[in-house]
Amino acid sequence: MSKTLTKTRTFYHLLTNTLFSSVINFTVWFAITFYAYIQTQSVFVTGMIAGIYLVATMLTGIWFGSLVDHHKKRTMMIASNIVSIVFYAAALAVYLFTPHELFQDPFHPLLWLLVVLLLFGVIASNIRTIVLPTLVTILVPASRRDKANGLVGTVSGVSFLVTSVISGLLVAAGGMLYVLLIALAILIASIVHLLFIEIPEHGIAHLEGEAAPKKVDLKGTFAVVVAIPGLMALILFSTFNNFLGGVFMALMDAYGLSMMSVEAWGLLWGALSTGFIIGGLIVAKKGLGKNPIRSLLLVNIIMWIICILFPLHGSIIPLALGMLGYMILVPYVEASEQTVLQRVVPYERQGRVFGFAQSVEQAASPLTAFFIGPLTQFIFIPLMTTGFGAQAIGSWFGTGAARGIAIVFIITGIIGLIATILAFKTKYYHQLSKQYLSAPAVPTEPQDITKARDSGLVG
Q: pLDDT tens digits, the chain, 459 residues: what are they?
A: 566 667 778 888 888 888 888 888 888 988 888 888 888 878 778 778 877 887 787 778 778 887 887 888 888 899 999 999 999 999 999 999 988 888 888 888 999 999 999 999 999 988 888 888 888 877 877 777 777 777 776 776 666 667 767 887 888 888 889 999 999 999 999 999 999 888 877 555 554 445 444 455 667 677 777 777 778 888 878 777 777 777 876 788 888 888 888 778 877 877 887 787 788 888 888 888 888 888 889 988 998 999 899 999 888 999 999 989 988 888 888 788 878 887 877 777 777 777 777 666 666 656 666 677 778 888 888 999 888 888 889 888 988 888 999 999 999 899 889 988 988 888 888 888 887 777 665 544 444 444 444 433 333
Distance CA 54, CA 365 (A): 6
Domain with residue 368: its CATH number is: 1.20.1250.20
Distance CA 406, CA 383 (A): 12
Flag whether 290 is in a domain. yes
CB-CB contact of 449 with 343 (8 Å):
no
Flag whether 159 is in a domain. yes
- Given its phi and psi angles, is residue 246 left (phi above 0), alpha (psi -120 to 50 degrees) or beta? alpha
Flag whether 272 is in a domain. yes
Flag whether 154 is in a domain. yes
Flag whether 451 is in a domain. no
Distance CA 356, CA 361 (A): 8
How many domains, the chain? 1
At a CB cut-off of 8 Å and minimum separation 6, what does 256 contact?
A: 265, 268, 269, 316, 319
What is the span of the domain harbouring residue 179?
A: 7-197+218-441
CB-CB contact of 73 with 201 (8 Å):
yes
Flag whether 260 is in a domain. yes
Flag whether 151 is in a domain. yes
CB-CB contact of 93 with 394 (8 Å):
no
Flag whether 285 is in a domain. yes
How many beta carbons lie within 10 A of that of residue 30, not counting itself?
Answer: 25
